[in-house]
């Protein structure tokens, strides 16, 4: 019989992970919270219709976070 001593990992344990990637925790913000509250009860085809209505610009759900990008630039 084969004995498994370590669990399978695609990335070797010797590779150091950048602290910016160490957590996949969701960070909510005002605009997303209000949009979620509005769209939560909508299901099926109605969801797409309501979502598109809110994207047209008449939606005043909350502040949009424009202070900083959430992307990370890689140095190659």
Q: What is the pLDDT of residue 5?
A: 79
40: closest CA among 20, 60, 54, 21?
A: 54
Is the pTM higher than 0.85?
no
Query: Residue 59 above 60 pLDDT?
Result: no
What is the dihedral angle through the alpha carbons of 44, 49, 57, 32, rounded to the nearest 10 degrees?
A: 0
Given a cut of 70, whether residue 20 has pLDDT beyond it is: yes
């Amino acid at each position: 019989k084969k004995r498994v001593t370590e669990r399978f990992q695609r990335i070797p344990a010797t590779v150091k992970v950048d602290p910016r990637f160490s957590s996949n925790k969701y960070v909510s913000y005002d605009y997303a919270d209000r949009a979620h509250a509005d769209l939560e009860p909508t299901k099926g085809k109605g969801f797409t219709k309501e979502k598109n209505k809110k994207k047209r610009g008449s939606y005043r759900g909350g502040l949009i976070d424009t202070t900083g990008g959430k992307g990370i630039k890689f140095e190659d």
